[in-house]
Structure 1
Amino acid sequence: LNITFFGQQAYGVEAASQRYFSKHAKDLKVEEAALLAGIVQSPTRYDPVNDTEEATKRRNTVLTRMAATRAITQAEADKAMETPVKLKVREPKRGCITAVSGSGFFCDYVRQTILSDPAFGKTEQERSKLWNLGGLTVKTTLDPRAQQAANEAATARVNKDDKFAASVVQVEPGSGKILSMGQSRPYGLNQKKNETVLNLAVSNKMGGSTYG
């Protein structure tokens, strides 16, 4: 469970516990532990920050299964299912959501490149472990001034809450180096603020992580 993805940039049950409940995993209540266990199947669909209803349904499915396998009693399961989901979300302090100069989409592109390249591991799990635990030093072609210009250009005529979104990418002629990636919608996980991790500048295969 140390490298399992729980959405919202949380890898591992301890990170997920801190992210959603601001507490250590060992201190989780039954209903909280069940919520985290349910997220793993589909971190985007069962994201309790953006869809409490779906997350609650999934949590209750896990609790039902726990009772059926006698991990907990039926009475404990019933009590837990009656408990509303109460999050105490702690903003992540790592990952592309913390990227400086509005370069979240660029950062995520680099991340997706590594996670999809077999040169960094035979399986996606191996590549993910390398990215999160490998102590990598990654040097990129990002130009902070170009990034600022891209952000300004993308938001100049399109608002973040518009139905359509704008995307700007700057590539250096000759070398092909990507200097910036900007969008009219800010990089992030809060859909209520019109944030997104979907990178419109790349193909569907690398269209941004669902977790930032």
Structure 2
Amino acid sequence: MPVVYLLRRNTASIEKTRTTLEEADWQLGGCSESLQDALAEIAVRMPDIVACDLRLNDGHAMLVAHELGQLPVRPQLLLLSPNVDDLQLFAALCAGANAYHVDVGTGLTDALTALHQRRANLSPLMARQALAAFGVERSPLALASQMAAAKDQSAAGRQIDQAARHLLSLLAHGLLTSEVAQAWQITQMEVEQRIWRIVRLLHVRSRELQIV
């Protein structure tokens, strides 16, 4: 079972999450309310996943993503936010976070399992933001929905291929990952793994912009 480190705003959130993980037999690799204390512990304990509130008392998840990127072995970062449309979510994904979970009291272990399997999701708003970040237009729905769209590896821009563009377009149109899977005749897991890889490309794009 993957090791999870909790970085949350307060003790109540930590204890509630700790109970959820213990009931599901997840291994807890530490917890903290302090970003500075957490960074030192994470470097030593090397968890597989860091589950982190989008906003912390002494920092922000974008800083967490940056600091984790400096480690020799970087854990995956799961953002916890009560609101899927928080504009800072996309910024943190670009900065190095791998996925997000809408923290409404349920579903955390499913989100952790998905991330461990390198699966992710994007809301319609974030899919539109990703298209804009990559500098490509949304594909027409009829084109993106075709089975052939899933296999189009021709370039759509500097960072992504047409298949990724079509996937982001379908998500931007509001399709669920299960609906994309049905249209493309592939598994939902593969769709979610493709989204995870697109988020990784956002990290690359962000680093290139910093270099420029």
Q: Provide TM-score, normalisation by structure 1.
A: 0.26
Greater percentage in strand: 2
Greater CA radius of gyration, 1 or 2? 1
Q: Provide TM-score, normalisation by structure 2.
A: 0.26
